Structure formats: C-alpha cells, structure tokens
Amino acid sequence: MAAKVKQFAIASRWASVYERETEASFLPNGALAILMLIASEMMLFSGLIGPFLVYKGTAPFWPPPNLPRLPVFVTSINTAVLLLSAVTMFLAVRAVGRNQRRLLRRYLTVTGVLGVTFLTVQGSEWVSLLRHGLRLSSGTYGATFYTLIGCHAAHVTAAVIWLSAVVIRAFQGRYGVRNASPVQICAMYWYFVCAVWPILFVLVYLP
C-alpha cells in the first residue's frame, strides 16, 4: 500500500511538471490573437504600399510640382516622438514584470502622452496641407498620401484608446507580476504601430 502511495505521488509530481512545461511552451490566447491581428494588419499595409510604390515609380514627377511639399523636418521629429513611445512602453512592460507598479503607471502614462502628441502633430500637418491645396482629390499623390498616412493614424488612434484603458486599470492596481499579460499584449500592438511608421515615413515623406 505504501509503495502504491509513493508511486502515485511520483506520478502526480511528474504530471504537474509536465503540465507547467506544456503551458509554458504555448503562447497565451491573447498573445496569439494579437499576433494574428498583427499579421493581418501587415498584409493590409503591404497591400497599400505596393500600389503606392508603383505609382511613385512610374510617375514623371513625384510629388507633382503643383502640390505642396510634405513637412519632412517636423515629421522627422514626430517620428522620434513615436519611437520614444516604444521605449517607454518597453520600460512599462519591464516594470510590470518586476511588480514595480508606480513605474508602470508612470511609463504607461508617458507612452500615452507621446502617442497623443504624435497624433496631434499629424493632425496639424494635415490641416496645413489641406489649406495649401493637398486634398484626397488631388490626383494619385493626394489619394495615396491620405490613404497610407490616414490608415496608420487610425491604427495609432486605436492603440491610444486601448492604452488608455490599460492606464486606467493600472492606476486601479490591477496589474502586477502575476497579471502582466494585458500590458504585454497591448505593448505588442504598440510596437507594431511604431515599427510601421518609419517605413511609411521613408517611403512617403522622403524623395
């Protein structure tokens, strides 16, 4: 009887070890879902960038001489703002992994402020370009510009809204080392929108 109890204890211990290793080898459902979403979004941007490159490569003048030039200098600074937000998001993820809730709240808030700053600057640029005559109806150049940049702005807006919800819950003390996945999953999407922008900046804003 004692031998059977000992065998049962050994089997239970190995079963628990196997279960932990099996769980560790698979991504959480939320992370898997966001990776699938990012993959689909990458295909979306690829589908938009492809025709843009064709139009840009075949046009005799790009941009057309009768349309206003894009604000490269201001947008380059704005690019640095968005990339800085990726750094602060990384610091937020590291803070939640270390159960540093005060730093988590601080870095999440800074990330959100940087994201809103990026959108505000982009919006002011759009207003200025519209006043100077660059509209969606301004031929292929205007249509591709507003489609590509507007699509990215919509994604950043969605990321900021998502991050705002995470920030609110962080101030409620809901995240820690044992409940870090919501912050990590939000960070994955934030990294994505930050990584896409430099590609668009080089393709759209630089000659």
For 53, left (φ over 0), alpha (ψ -120 to 50), or beta?
Answer: alpha
Q: In terms of DSSP H, where are the helices of 59-133? A: 72-97, 101-131
Q: For residues 189 and 42, give the distance between their C-alpha atoms in angstroms, rounded to a whole number.
A: 12
The two structure tokens encoding residue 107: 């870095």
Q: Which domains does the chain have, with CATH numbers?
A: 27-205 (1.20.120.80)
Confidence of residue 27 (pLDDT cuts 50, 70, 90): low
* pLDDT at residue 3, rounded to an integer: 45
The two structure tokens encoding residue 9: 């204890």
Q: What is the DSSP string of 6-57?
A: HHHHHHHHHHHHHHHHHHHTS--HHHHHHHHHHHHHHHHHHHHHHHHHHHHH
Q: What is the DSSP string of 178-200?
A: TS-HHHHHHHHHHHHHHHHHHHH
Q: Provide mean pLDDT across the span 136-163.
A: 94
| Global model pTM greater than 0.95 | no
